[in-house]
Amino acid sequence: MSVDADYETLLVDIEGGIGRITIDRSERMNAISPTLLEELTDVIEALDTDGDVRAVVLAGSGDRAFSAGADLSAITEGSAVDVADLSRKGQEAFGAVKECSMPVVAAIDGFCLGGGMELATHADLRIATEDAVFGQTEHNLGLMPGWGGTQRLQRLVGEGRAKEIVFTADHFDAGTMADYGFLNEVLPESDFDERVDELASKLAAGPPIAQELTKRAMHRGQDDVEAGLEIEARAFGLLRDTDDLLEGIDAFQEDRDPEFTGE
């Protein structure tokens, strides 16, 4: 499949350096199915190698949900081995989102529950409407987060808050999730789309090489600070020989916006 392919569960649009991925299952509250996981992995890899794309936005179709969670039929109809494989498939797909070389923004409107919240957790930045609702609700079903949620959430909000969110399986409003450090911004519905486009455009105009190396250093340092610092130092040196550095310095001295090319 290529980025131009027709996906069963996703809509993909590229414009102005922004790759927009929209979960297209509004009739199922944008529930995440095995097919969606496969297609998400494919499209992230395709966008990551598309020279015209400099930032990615994840969104849900309709006005009810970013994603209300996993398609439960995939869990109830499978064996224990099948469900463990599904967990690994989700970890791989969401891991591709996290390790995407470009900045990834989750644009959250409506319900963001279970696997949907796990997906948002793997983005670099999260913006939500004031009416968005969040929750890792798996414990209400006798399940647990299985697509990276037990590991990634605590790195965003801390261990105590992560355990509160997972163990209570409660719904949380957007203001609370911003206070917890999960959300970067909360906006009225009327301002939401414009702000998402504004932020994505700003990220797409950034220096691609520096952005990729910054993500790599930050992610590596989550588990090993010394290793992260070493990657930071090497990357800092590598950027010395890029055209983008010269462009950034020239733009600063000339009091204009830089035009980065990723070279």
Query: Which candidate, 55, 180, 60, 201, places its Cα nearest to that of 129?
Result: 60
Name, in order, each residue with C-beta under 8 angstroms of 143's C-beta and a sequence gap of 6 or more: 75
Q: Which of 15, 45, 138, 230 is catalytic?
A: 138
Contact 71, 115 (CB under 8 A): no
Q: Which of 8, 15, 45, 118 is catalytic?
A: 118
Strand order of the β-sheet with 133-135 is 65-67, 111-113, 133-135, 172-173
Query: Which candidate, 4, 133, 164, 157, places its Cα nearest to that of 69?
Result: 133
Query: Which candidate, 122, 139, 16, places its Cα nearest to that of 66?
Result: 122
Does residue 138 have an active-site annotation?
yes
Give the E-state strand segments of the chain in sequence order: 10-15, 18-23, 55-60, 65-67, 104-108, 111-113, 125-129, 133-135, 172-173, 185-187
Phi, psi of 17 (to 5 degrees): 80, 5
Cα–Cα distance, 18 to 78 (Å, whole number): 37
Side chain identity, residue 230 = E
32 secondary structure, DSSP code: B
* DSSP per-residue codes, 169-213: ---EEHHHHHHTTS-SEEE-HHHHHHHHHHHHHHHHTS-HHHHHH
Catalytic residue list: 118, 138
